[in-house]
Structures are given as structure tokens and as C-alpha cells.
Amino acid sequence: MAANKPTPTPTPTTPLTPTSTEPTHILFVGAGAVGCFYASRLHHPSQNIYTSLTARSNYSAIAASGVVLQTHSFGNYTFWPYAVFPSISAAVPNSSTPSTNHASSSQTPPRHGWDYIIVTTKALPDRSDDAALIAPLVSAKSCIVLIQNGVGVEEPYRKRFPQNPIVSAVTVVSAEQIKNGVIRQNRWTRISLGPYGTGLATPPSSTAKSAEVVQRGYERMEQLKQWWNKYGGIRDVETHTELELQTIRWHKLCINAAFNPTAVLSGGRGNADQLTDPELREHITGIMKEIWSAAPKVLGKPFPDNLAAPDRIIRSTERNTGARPSMLLDWEAGRPMELEVILGNPVRIARAAGVEMPKLQSLYALLRSMQKVREDKKATEKL
């Protein structure tokens, strides 16, 4: 096994000893800011824990120089993944396609498969079936972890992998890739984890052995929490029940569904800047209240008191000047936007529960049309 440059870890109060003689191999699908940051805090060869990455545009930079991290929480360091792959197909166990590793150009995927497959790419179900894309990576021992925005992201994976544990994750980390292979973490480290069974609205399926699958999901998420806590120094890793985690997803939607679409439709205004305009502020408040009213009917219980209500979210956002949401960055770069998981799925899920969300539906219709018109125009120009 190739030697690796160690990732800096906090100084422990007691010696850390390996938890297993067998190596644990973790593959992050997506080498953006979020994926690289959390992968760097899991990679600990001294504990037999190895993280690898699949990368696209930044593949060459990471393969040559590792991932350079400039972090608010852990200082500056370079993370050398166990391996970095230029594609998912190159990361398939027993694949004849070699990966590139900083210590060995002939490194290949682990012969016995991936223990964890952590997906951190943007969720674009209208563009690709990501569950199908990762299928060649998944074995009976694999746990699938989804660190993605929006609601309804888990269901395609559950349908395709009924026997595999799935952990759903929500993070509030503020991180960005300032150039290929260079990640800056600005604020926060919190990540919330919860198992995913068959969905809150679906009765457990005996054929999917739902109870057993969910139990294995609990066990795998607790293991991740321990590693991130003990070896990665991330103290605010939270574990939850399935319902609690889905509640957190709907709560985060108050931010994503309000500010992201509005940033695009308002002509490029950042989150705090939107709130300086009285009409936009009223619009933002209305979207949040619509979600706040609809979500309990979907979830079957109200938001808990410890989650920030719309007025508190707005006050906090006012102080976060300069923030430009990801949907705006995608629009300006000509990339597809996460319209389905942030707008389309919530509207459809709420409607199935007997609740209409007219404000979100309007945003969804307008942005989907804008995206289609621009893409049709580009296609015509190529003819």
C-alpha cells in the first residue's frame, strides 16, 4: 500500500489506536469544496482510514499537488488523498484503468471494494441519474452517504440500492474552491447525519428488509461521527433519526429556496443585499413562511423550537455580507441549476401531501423556463 503524507490532526489527550486491522476505504464522488474539506478530515492512514476522490476539472491539479486547504478551523495544510480518479469508471474496483496517486502512478481501486461512497456532487436529477452512475462502485458492503442540498435526493438511491445502508447528510460549512485544487473554508464545520429508510411517506417494505437496512445506516453514521470527531477534529457532527434529518433538510430549504432563486431573478444580488430592498425582503419572508407552513404537513410534526424561525434566519443573513449563493454562481457560469431538488421536488412532495406551495411553484416555473430558453438558444447558435 502506498505511503501517504499525513493530514494534520488535533493533538489528542490520549493516544489514538487503530480501530481495525482491515483498511477502510472511502470514496468521495465529487472533488469540490465540500467534498475535499470533509474528505481531508476523514483521511487518517495511521488509523487505517483512507479517503480517495473522483475529480473532473481539477483532476490534474489534485493528482499533481494534492488538495491545498486554507481553513478557518484547522489552519492551512495539504491533503494527499489515497488516490484521485479522473472518472467514476476509473474508480470501479477491479477496473483495469489505473488511478493517479501522488506516491504511485499505478495505484488502482481497492480490490475488496469501497466501504463508503460519499456523494458530494450537485444534485441534478433532471440531467443525470447519479444513482445509476455510481452503481458500478457499489458492493454489498458499501454505505452510500449523500451530502447534497435539497429534499428528495435520497429516493433514487434507495430504489436502486434497496439493501445498502444510506446516510443522508446536511452541512452548513462555508467553503469554496478558489482555484483548481485549492479550497478555502471560511466558516462553520457542522454536518448533520441521519439514516434513510424507505422515505417518511412510504410504509417499510419487508422485501427491502427496511428495519435491518436502517439499523445498519445508524451504525455506519455513528462510525463516521466517531472518526470525524476523534481523528478529524470536527466537534459538531450531529446524528439524528430519519425524521429529524428530513426536518433539517426542509429547514435548510428556507434558506436555499428563498435566497438562491431570488439571487438569479433579481439580477445577481447576494443574500444580504436582497434584504436591503423592501420588496425583495417581503418576497423572501413570504417564501420562508410558505415552507414553514407546508413542511409540518409533509413531515407530520412541526419544526422544533431549536430551529431558527424565518425572522431569525433573516437577521443572521443580514450580517453575512458578500455571500453569493451557489445557484447564482451556476447561472452566471452557464451551468445547470439545482432547480429540481430545491424547488421542483418540494412542490411535488408537498402537493402529494395535500399542500400547495404557490410561491415556490412560481419560482420553479420561471427559472426552469429561463434555463430552457438559454440552453435552446445556445443549441441553435451551434447549428
Q: What is the mean pLDDT of residues 105-122?
A: 87
pTM recorded for the entire structure: 0.89
Helices then strands, each counted (H, E), the chain: 13, 12
Task: List, in order of start, the domains of the chain with CATH numbers.
Answer: 24-240 (3.40.50.720), 245-382 (1.10.1040.10)
State the pLDDT at residue 202. 52
- Would you say residue 299 has pLDDT above 80? yes
Segment 149-175, tens digit of pLDDT: 999 999 999 999 999 999 999 998 989
Q: How far is CA 121 from CA 146, 256, 271, 350, 382, in A?
A: 9, 16, 23, 25, 28
Predicted confidence band of residue 134 (pLDDT cuts 50, 70, 90): very high
In terms of C-beta distances under 8 Å and separation of at least 24 residues, what long-range contacts does 344-350 make, across chains too?
344/126, 344/368, 345/150, 345/151, 345/152, 345/153, 346/150, 346/151, 346/152, 346/250, 346/253, 346/257, 346/291, 346/294, 348/152, 349/151, 349/152, 349/298, 350/294, 350/297, 350/298
Which of residues 275 and 1 earns the better pLDDT score? 275
Percent of residues, the chain, with pLDDT higher than 70: 89
Structure confidence at residue 20 (pLDDT): 53
Residue 17 pLDDT > 50: no
- Would you place residue 15 in the very low, low, confident or very high pLDDT band (cuts 50, 70, 90)? very low
199-243 pLDDT, tens per residue? 765 554 544 467 899 999 999 999 999 999 999 999 999 999 999
Q: What is the pLDDT of residues 178-207, one digit of tens each?
A: 999 999 998 889 999 999 997 765 554 544
Determine the pLDDT at residue 245: 96
- Mean pLDDT in the chain? 89
Confidence of residue 342 (pLDDT cuts 50, 70, 90): very high
315 backbone dihedrals φ, ψ, rounded to 5°: -60, -40
174 close to 219: Cβ distance less than 8 angstroms: no
Whole-Å CA distances, 107 to 31, 85, 95, 176: 18, 10, 11, 28
